Amino acid sequence: MPGRINRMAGLMGRWHSIGIIGGMGPAATVDFMQRLVVGAGAGADAGHPRILVDSNPQVPDRNCAFAGTGVSPGPVLARMAQGLLAQGAQVLAMPCNAAHGWSDDIRAVAGNRFIDIVDVALVAAMAHFPRRIGVLAIGATIGLKLYDRAAVPVIAGDTIRVQALVNRIKAGDATPQVAAEMAEIAAGLVLAGADVIIAACTEVPLVLNQSAVFVPFVDATAALATATLLAARIEPARSRRLAS
């Protein structure tokens, strides 16, 4: 029995705790958490990481903040990060692309414990050796030039059309019509020379996937989930000792 308990303790200690700075929007936060659950590949409850979630839909609007017509979301995001760390989170992730325009406020309290969705999405995109990347994103993400750190040229879809569709998705409309319109914007990016498309808004993967896009499709939410789990995974040293 003691050996079995020790083995279970080793299994339960495989992960650092994950904190999610969420609510932008709520459905995208739930989608991200679901990807963490599936990606953990656990065979029982104890094999999953502990996940702490602050889903705060009252974070100041990112588009308004960028346009200068609203307050900065940075202080709120920093407080959310502090709260999650105080509760025991050891790795932080934020499934919202536009909010990364204020990621420095989060890094000021979290340092390298914060996983950047833009960085990991671009790594995933560059694995396809693109000559030009197309992004499906809202105005703030494009205006803040978050994806301009790519090593190749980046072109954006019609942000007004993308925003209108994102608003519909946030309101619960994930119908085939919305998916078809988002796919049409992606197709326009391909015609403009993009040979990789990034879903650079976390609402986009709620309606669009690789089957509707004719070039490699990078789901930034999926890339963030993979990177977060990689950062949170602890090498099971106890298990190695037991096996040796």
Residues of the chain with CATH 3.40.50.1860: 2-116+224-243, 118-220
Mean pLDDT over residues 120-132, rounded? 98
One-letter identity of residue 26: P
Query: pLDDT tens for residues 27-75?
Result: 999 999 999 999 999 999 999 999 999 999 999 999 999 999 999 999 9
Query: pLDDT tens for residues 77-118?
Result: 999 999 999 999 999 999 999 999 999 999 999 999 999 999
Structure confidence at residue 9 (pLDDT): 41
Give the Cα separation of 17 and 48 in Å (integer).
Answer: 10
pLDDT band of 235, cuts 50, 70, 90: confident
Quick one: CA torsion of 174, 176, 182, 183, rounded to 10 degrees?
140
Name the fold adopted by 118-220.
Rossmann fold (3.40.50)
Quote the percentage of the chain above a pLDDT of 90. 90
pLDDT band of 18, cuts 50, 70, 90: very high
Query: pLDDT tens for residues 158-194?
Result: 999 999 999 999 999 999 999 999 999 999 999 999 9
Mean pLDDT over residues 123-145, rounded? 98
Query: pLDDT tens for residues 153-166?
Result: 999 999 999 999 99
Residue given tokens 């694995």 in the structure block:
127
* Cβ atoms of 229 and 48 closer than 8 Å: no
In the chain, DSSP assigns E strands to: 18-22, 51-55, 91-93, 114-115, 133-136, 154-156, 196-199, 217-219
Q: How many residues does the structure list for the chain? A: 244
Is the peptide bond between 25 and the residue preceding it cis, with omega within 30 degrees of 0?
yes
Structure confidence at residue 241 (pLDDT): 38
Structure confidence at residue 236 (pLDDT): 59
Q: Please choose, from the candidates 130, 107, 123, the residue with its C-alpha nearest in 3D space to the C-alpha of residue 216.
A: 130
What the block records as the tokens of 175 is 């119908």
Domain 2-116+224-243: which CATH class?
Answer: alpha beta
- Using the predicted structure, report yes or no on whether residue 1 has a pLDDT greater than 70: no
Structure confidence at residue 121 (pLDDT): 98
Strands of the sheet with 133-136, listed across from one edge = 154-156, 133-136, 196-199, 217-219
